[in-house]
Structure 1
Amino acid sequence: MKAIHVWDNSFDKYWVNGLAKISGATPMYSLGVRQFDHEIFSSILKQDDSFVVLSDSGEILALVPLYCFKDDMGLLEYRYAGEYLRAPLIDGFPSSKRYEKIQKFVFSYIEDLAREKKVISHKTMVEAVELIEGRYYYNYLTDFGYNDESSVCQLIDSSKDIDYLWADIRKSYRPLINRAEKNFSCEIVSFDNYSFDKCEEYRKLHFKATGRQTRDLKSFYLMYDMVKNKQAFISFVIEKDDQIVASHFFYVLGAYCLYASSAIDPDMPHDCGIGHFGMWQGIKTAHDMGCSFIDMGQLRLTSNPSDKEMNIALFKKGFGGRTVTVFRGTKTFFK
């Protein structure tokens, strides 16, 4: 086995082909999200050591995201800014000897790389679909010396019929959605009706909601590229005067969808239901696109969440689905 790193000219080709081949490739592994990451983390990302594992015959065996950041003391860590990197994607099924051989190679290679580059630790997480789809029922990271730091996320089975998905929404949310549906319209922008100008409405609303430009323009343009390239869609809520008052951005890759971000017009009443309506339209869109699961995101990023984080978690859980364990872990290479 050998590793092809991000600085190799063939890396992108192998990565994209691996996404199409390996089970469990969620949107956070997509090339579009990687390009977005490089932009939003450009001032703090010290190096990208991500790699693809190939067999001697050139078969793609694993995809390994590996971003390196400095901590507050100037020490290098493999992580996703302040959060956990997605775990290695490995071809095959975990019970096979072939899989175990690839897995051992991957984690040994990560450790060798860390020791060579003086990276003190690796923070990583296993996507919840690995548990739901039966590939892992326990935190296998502990087998490789990682401390168990598992959390939970909210996962919606969007393969269910629309009536089931509607009934699964929190009872108090449904009147809000129904009221908003009477007073507002919704437009979904995806690859089949892509418009740069329409996507720009997402950025403008994001600017209005935050009161300032929080990111470089290029990061938004990369998000638009994801829409154009079938890796994302936007749910817009529109007032009767054609004013966009809410937008929800969803990543998509294969059978998986991920709720990424949203922006709500701060001038709108808090009880008008536009946030709930836009989210529901996004769920319906993911269902219509044939997505099996919608990941609403982790509900506990830290062991001591703030009131704001708790409120966000409560909001996400209101759209139904199941609260699922996210296996996470940190391994320290240097004490």
Structure 2
Amino acid sequence: MSIYVIYPDDSNFKTLWQSFVERNNVSWRYSPERMEYEKVYCHKTLIQDCSFVIKKDDLPVAICPLFLEEQNEHHFFSSDLGYQTAPFISSCLSEKQRKKIERLCFEEIDKLAKKNGVVKCMRQIDPVIGGYSYNVLTKYGYLDASLQTVIVDLRNEIKSLWSTLRKSFKSLINNGKENFNILIMDSENPDYEIHEAYRKLHHKTSGRITRPLKTFDMQFEDLKNDRAILIGLKEKERFVAFSYFSHYQNSVYYGSSSDDPDYESKIPLEHCIIWAAIEYYKKRGFSFFEVGVQQFRTQFFDHPSQKDLNICFFKRGFGGKIIPFYRGIKYYDTEVMKQDLECNMNRLLRAHQDE
């Protein structure tokens, strides 16, 4: 048995990565298109794509997204200086082989960290397809920084999904349906002008341009190629809200939303949009709908604002199951580790004092 590590400068890299995602049940986080999107999104901090494929004989058996980033003259393995998805090992391997390849992946990360002077590595395990019953990152020297996320199981009957909604949401969804027109745009009816309306409303909601314009065009390409949908809410001929959803293989992710800050409505706008997405993906036979990360209060490595907590409460209203979202941080520099831990401790103490 021959094992090789293949990097992006290898002419076979893209083919092997594509072959792996086609053979394995991966989520949008591992798609080649998402990887390209993140490169553009992280352009201010990204130095090099150090991602790799593990090939056993002639078959790819693992993939690992790995971006080398820089801030304040320090190097990190991260995505936009945040958590990046951990290596994914093929389920086609035996348990013994999986453990061997898993160990090889994390050894390769450590080797690349040393080579590139990395001071900190931030990893997260995909909660939909990760397949771990514990935070395996801690096995390889990572400090546990886990949160939770909400997954709606679309394999359940639509009546069951409706019954698990927060009671107050049902009337809000029905009122939304009665008072607004809901447009679902997918690969069957792509419209660039409508997508541009989403981009402009996104900027208006944020009050600034938050990411490169190219990322919106990449989102539209995903929509045209059946990797995403855009749902818009209209009052008469005016779009007042949008939400963007990514999908890949059998899972869905609630990506981003925007609503017009100048529009006044007694009816909340997002409730009927997300329910429309649940109905849409249920009809199409998708299995899992990831509503998004859950934060309940300040943790050592996580310091949500009240706005963050309100958004999490809103997302929990769509039923589903709260499951672990395993994350971890590994330090390769003790001074950076000391500064980070002190900073997080001080923020945690201030949060408790303010309660």
Give the TM-score range, shorter chain.
Answer: over 0.9
The one-letter amino acid paired with 2:91 is G
| 2:24 matched residue in structure 1 | 22
8 A Cα contact 1:209 1:266, kept in partner: yes
Question: CA, structure 1 residues 270+316, in 2 after alignment: closer, same or farther (shift >3 Å)?
Answer: farther
SS at match of 1:193: coil
| 1:234 matched residue in structure 2 | 230
Q: CA deviation at 1:229?
A: 1.4
Percent identical: 31
- Match status 1:3 vs 2:15: no
- Match status 1:113 vs 2:112: yes
Question: CA, structure 1 residues 80+215, in 2 after alignment: closer, same or farther (shift >3 Å)?
Answer: closer
- Cα distance in structure 2, aligned partners of 1:271 and 1:79: 41
| 2:280 matched residue in structure 1 | 285
8 A Cα contact 1:233 1:249, kept in partner: yes
SS at match of 2:307: helix
- Match status 1:253 vs 2:219: no
| 1:36 matched residue in structure 2 | 37
- Match status 1:329 vs 2:331: no
| 2:46 matched residue in structure 1 | 45
- Cα distance in structure 1, aligned partners of 2:137 and 2:210: 35
Question: CA, structure 1 residues 204+304, in 2 after alignment: closer, same or farther (shift >3 Å)?
Answer: closer
- 1:57-136 to structure 2, matched below 5 A, reads 57-71=57-71, 73-92=72-91, 96-130=95-129, 135-136=131-132
Q: CA deviation at 1:172?
A: 1.0
8 A Cα contact 1:54 1:62, kept in partner: yes
| 2:271 matched residue in structure 1 | 276
> Which residues of structure 1 form unaligned runs of 5+?
none
Q: CA deviation at 1:230?
A: 1.4
- Cα distance in structure 2, aligned partners of 1:154 and 1:129: 10
Q: CA deviation at 1:148?
A: 1.5
After TM superposition, the structure 1 stretch with the greater mean CA deviation from structure 2, 299-308 or 148-157, is 299-308
- Cα distance in structure 2, aligned partners of 1:193 and 1:142: 45
- Match status 1:180 vs 2:186: no
The one-letter amino acid paired with 2:192 is F
8 A Cα contact 1:246 1:264, kept in partner: yes
Q: CA deviation at 1:313?
A: 0.6
- Cα distance in structure 2, aligned partners of 1:157 and 1:34: 26
- 1:187-226 to structure 2, matched below 5 A, reads 187-226=183-222
Q: CA deviation at 1:207?
A: 2.5
8 A Cα contact 1:203 1:220, kept in partner: yes
Q: CA deviation at 1:264?
A: 0.7
- Cα distance in structure 2, aligned partners of 1:273 and 1:89: 39
Q: CA deviation at 1:95?
A: 6.7
Q: CA deviation at 1:283?
A: 1.6
Q: CA deviation at 1:179?
A: 0.7
8 A Cα contact 1:22 1:89, kept in partner: no
TM-score (norm 1): 0.93
- Cα distance in structure 1, aligned partners of 2:303 and 2:212: 31
Question: CA, structure 1 residues 95+136, in 2 after alignment: closer, same or farther (shift >3 Å)?
Answer: farther
SS at match of 2:150: strand
Count of residue correspondences:
328
- Cα distance in structure 2, aligned partners of 1:288 and 1:265: 29
Q: CA deviation at 1:93?
A: 6.4
Q: CA deviation at 1:94?
A: 8.1
SS at match of 1:153: strand
SS at match of 1:121: strand
8 A Cα contact 2:27 2:129, kept in partner: no
8 A Cα contact 1:176 1:271, kept in partner: no
RMSD over aligned CA atoms reads 1.8
